[in-house]
Each structure stands twice: as C-alpha cells, then as structure tokens.
Chain A
Amino acid sequence: MTASTILVHRHTLSSRIAITVALLLLAAIPTMPFWASSGQIRLIIELSCLIAIAQMWNLLAGYGGMVSVGQQAFIGAGGYSLFVLSVYAGLNPFWSVPLAMILPALLAAPSYLLLRKLDGPYFAIGTWVLAEVFRLVTGNLQVVNAGSGMTLRAMGQFTAHQREIGLTILCALLLLITVGGTFLMLRSRLGLAMTAMRDDPVSAASQGVNVGRMRFGIYVVAAMGTGLAGAIYYMAQLRISPSSGFDPYWSSICIFIVMVGGIGRLEGPIVGALLYFTATRLFGHYGASYMIVLGLLTLLIALFSPGGLWGLFGKLRDWPWFPVGHRLEYRQRGDA
C-alpha cells in the first residue's frame, strides 16, 4: 500500500468571502429600523420568509427526494400557533415565535408515517390532501374564528418601531437557522448521508445509511423551519385566515424558486428567491400573463438546465458560496 499525506479542503476563497458577506448582511437586517423605510423592511421580511420556506422545500425535495406540494400545511400551522398562543395564552408574540415550531413538528411526525408508503406523484398528492384537510379543519374551528381568521391584537402594545426591530431580529435569526443550519447540517456526517440519498437512495442504504429515518428527520425539520417562517410572515401581516395560511400558492412558489434557482444545492433557493422576488416586484402587476411567464421560465429551466440558474453559473465558474463538499489533495507520496 502506498502512503501519502493528505489534506482535505472544505472551504474556498469564494466561500470565505460569501460567508463573511452573508453574516454581515444578516447583522445588517436588525439595524434596518434605524435607517430604512417601513416599505423596505416589509420587503426584507417577505424575502427572508421566502428564502427560508424555499430552503426547507429544497431540503425536502432536493435531498430527501420528497416532492411536497403541501408545505402550506406547516406555514399555516406555524402562523396559527403564534396567533393562538398570543390570543389564548396571552404570551408575548415575539417570544411565541420559537414555540410556533412545536405544532408543525407534532403534525409532521404522524403525517410522515402516513405518507412514507407513497411514491413520487402519490406522495405529492398525499401532501396536498393533508394540507387541504388542515385548511378545512381550521376553517371550521370556532376557537380560531373559523373561516374569517384571526387578528394579532397583541401587537398593538408595541410601537411600529418596536415591531420592526422585533421582526427584523426574527428575520435574521430565521435565515441564520434555515440557511446557516442547513449549511452546517450538510457539512456534517448527516449531510454526507443526505447528499448520498439525493443522488441514489438505494446505494446509500447499501452503504449503511438509514434512509427511512433520515427522510423522517428531514420531513420534520423542514416542517419546523417552514412553520417558523410562517409564524414570522403572518406576524408581519397581523392577521391570518385559513385561505391565506394554507394557500396552495405557497407550494407553487417553493417549486418555482427551487427549480429555477437550482435544486439540491444550498445556493439554489437563495438565487431563486431573489429572482422570484425581484420579478414579482417588477412585473407582478401584469397578473395572469406574468404567471404564465414564470411558468414558462420554470419549464425552460427544467428542460435545458436541470441544475437551475445556480447549476448554470457553476458550469461557468466554480465559485461556491456555501460549499458542503470535500476536496482531497495528496502530498508527498512515498512508500510506507
């Protein structure tokens, strides 16, 4: 056997720069109430929630191979948790936000056990049916005002400035947890298993990866991250209703953002969310014809660049922002 000294590199110059910039941006978000307009802050809150929800969908579909069209189930569950905790338990809404991850997790665990036997399209349909069930149940529950929805009156105790400070801090934490947390997870031993599963679950199982348990974990974690984003989003809206919280449109957005940005890559949902967000600001007022353009764009990317925009960019320049891989370098070869 030959022996050589080896080095394993996990970062690149581009990733060091990107991570520094990302952390600076995150730190800048909570300072916005002191220099930005309320309109700009609202945009950042929406963008943060989109990135978080899309990143969770990427985890689910890109790594877990579970294409869900029912993530609105957990957006609504997270949002409603916050409203119920604030209205009935009288908790400070800001402190209730982390607690809003509990219900999505509790709902996700049995949902997964129901869904796990379903394959591909059947799984997708199953997630959609579940989300519709949640919407119908919520729409008929008198404690949550049934179809007319709830209002977050408790926010009235804060000034607009205080609310903005609270929300921007929450957004920074949301991104730190969903993007930063996914990054750290993907770089760990579990991430190796998740990346292997993404490429070939059968091989992964034959090399010792408990694919079933990994999928369960991913499903529950994605539900929690999605619920957290839902809570923050509807906190900013100040009201929630079954038709908005459980709107299937949330899933369409996820699919668009992740497919166009690049599925199975951490950077994909960020690029996709920025594109969707910008396009919606610029062309949203065209209504239906704008939706057709978005749909066509998804189709074109699916046909010609399955790796999405990030995959296209990766072919031109190998400049990862959040690398999760390993680059092996052999040094000083010699005989043992």
Chain B
Amino acid sequence: MVTPSGQQTQADGKEVLLSVRNLSKSFGALKVVQDVSFELARGEVLGVLGPNGAGKTSLFNLISGDIAFDTGAITLSGTPLGREPSYRRAMRGIGRTYQIPRPYAKMTTFENLLVAARFAAGRSEREAYLSCAALLEDCGLAGKANLPAGGLTLLDRKRLELARALAGEPKLLLLDEIAGGLTEAEAGQLVSLIRQVRDRGITIIWIEHVLHAVMAVAERLLVLSFGEKIADGKPQEVIDNPDVRRIYMGIEA
C-alpha cells in the first residue's frame, strides 16, 4: 500500500506524478466511482483490473477530464486539476486511448496522429510530420499512413489509439483495454510496444482484462469493484488476494 506523504514525493523518495484522492462520481443513483484514492510515481506502470461495469473507464474519464468528478481531487505533478477541461489536461501531458477506438474515421492514419502532435504536444508542422511518421513506423502502421482510419482492422485501430496518444507526448498515458479482442499474437505485439513506451519513462495506467498481458508489464495492480478500490499492490499479492480471486472467478482463467 502506498502511504501518502508530501505533495511531491512518496515515502521512498520517488516523485509523485498523479495523485487521486477520495474521488467519487455518480450517474444519478448509480455510484460508478466511490471514494477512490491512489498515488502514482513518475515512470510507474499501474495495471487496473475489475469486472465489467466496475467503473474503470469512468475512472479514466475523470482523470482525462472527459467527465467531471462529484467530490475528491486529482493532482498532476502537484497541480490540482479541478474542473479543467480535457483539452487542457491533454496539453499538460495526460494522453489516453479509448476502450472502443475513436479514430478520426475520414482522416488518414497519419493525420490522426498529427492532431495530437500539433495540439496536445504543441509541435510545429515540421516537428509533427517527423515525429508522427516515426511513430507510425514504431507502431507498425507506416504502410497504412495514407488510408482513412475508419477502414482499419481492429488491431490497427488499437495500434492507432496507442500511436495517437503517444503523438501527444504524454507524461501520463491511460490505456483502456488496448489488448481486448485481439489474438494472442497480436496482444503480444502490443505488449512489446507498451514495454518500449515504459522504457522511454512514460508513466502508464493500463486497464486490461487480458491478465497475462498486463502482468507482463505492470509493476503494480489496482482492482476496482462496484466503483470501489478493493486491492492495490504488487501484482502477485493482488492476484492471490481472496477478494480478488472471488471477483475474477470465471472471468479470467
């Protein structure tokens, strides 16, 4: 368990990038996120587990600013984000993918990346061209650079979600079920891509049902159930936790 210490550093001296405190959100009577708190050190990779409807995506929406929280606080590098809209958080370095990919369907794959590079990362035209072209190569999309994104296969859409988020040069990357629906081999490719991202020092929160994929990269797991945090710690400890085992029975072999 992480014990909150000062604003900027954790007990072990690591810099705190993201701090989420007593975060709650309801849709009418439905409490989708309830009193969730955690801290994330710079460079850390946190896996988030939980059954469908547990509030994982909602947690991302709250962090990225796609929806506003009811109570609590979200702090990035010591700055409280409050009600700041999502476009400003993107410029601060929060990048995200969507569980159901949301590409700019009529724009090309390359142009999808350009948007993030020019706006979230604030790059000049020339810089954006170079970084996006390189990212497409890294993510295995170079051959599809000039195709409309709406026509891509599921794997390529997932890659595009990742590539586009990276084009925004995030400090904190939120990955929402990026390996879901892919074959074993495809998921494997994505895992090695995410490893590379981690090796560049980008802090990652990764929601994933494909347990072995997220276990291959995450150094810490957090489990949500009915909007509440029920476990948070070293992957093996979390997996062995009886509550977690009960919830996950039948969902993950």
Residues of A at the B interface (CB closer than 8 Å) are 1-4, 6, 8, 189, 192-193, 195-196, 198-200, 202-212, 264, 325-328, 330
Contacts and interface: CB of A to CB of B under 8 A. Distances in A.
Contact of A205 (B85, B114, B145): B85
B226 interface: no
Interface in B130-145: 130, 133-134, 136-138, 142, 145
A211 B87 contact: yes
A325 B137 contact: no
Given A192-B111, A264-B106, A208 B119 contact: yes
A199 B105 contact: yes
Given A193-B115, A205-B85, 14 more contacts: A2-B134, A6-B133, A192-B114, A192-B118, A193-B118, A193-B119, A199-B104, A200-B102, A202-B102, A204-B104, A209-B119, A212-B85, A325-B107, A326-B114
B138 A199 contact: no
A10 to B, nearest CB: 11
Contacts of B145: 328, 330
B248 interface: no
A330 B134 CA distance: 10
Chain A interface helix/strand/loop/mixed: mixed
Contacts of B133: 4, 6, 328, 330
Interface stretch (B11-19, B27-35, B48-56, B90-98): B90-98
A325 B102 contact: no
Contacts of A208: 87, 90-91, 115-116, 119-122, 168
Contacts of A327: 108, 146
A3 B130 CA distance: 9
A323 to B, nearest CB: 12
Contacts of B122: 208
Nearest to A3: B134
Interface string B72-114: 0000000000000111001100001010001111111011101
B110 A328 contact: yes
A198 B149 CA distance: 14
Contacts of A4: 133, 137
Contact of B86 (A193, A195, A196, A205): A205
Nearest to A2: B137
B203 interface: no
B220 interface: no
Nearest to B64: A206
B157 interface: no
Given A207-B90, A209-B115, A330-B133, A199 B106 contact: yes
Contacts of B118: 189, 192-193
Contact of A189 (B106, B111, B125, B138): B125
Interface in B187-241: none
A6 B102 contact: no
B129 interface: yes
A170 B129 CA distance: 39
Given A4-B133, A207-B168, A196 B115 contact: yes
B242 to A, nearest CB: 37
Q: Which 6 A-B pairs have the closest CB atoms?
A: A208-B119, A208-B120, A199-B104, A208-B90, A207-B116, A328-B145
Which of B111, B115, B125, B138 has its CB near the most chain A CB atoms (within 10 A)?
A: B115
A149 to B, nearest CB: 43
A242 B114 CA distance: 46
18 contacts: A2-B137, A192-B111, A192-B118, A193-B118, A200-B104, A203-B104, A206-B64, A206-B65, A208-B91, A208-B120, A210-B85, A264-B106, A327-B108, A328-B108, A328-B110, A328-B136, A330-B137, A330-B145
B158 interface: no
Given A4-B137, A208-B168, A328-B110, A200 B103 contact: yes
A307 to B, nearest CB: 9
B164 interface: yes
A189 B105 CA distance: 19
B66 interface: yes
Contact of A203 (B98, B106, B125): B98
A12 B111 CA distance: 17
A326 B108 contact: yes
B120 A207 contact: yes
B104 A1 contact: no
Nearest to B124: A189
Contacts of B96: 206
Contacts of B107: 195-196, 199, 325
B129 A8 contact: yes
B202 to A, nearest CB: 15
Contacts of B87: 205-211
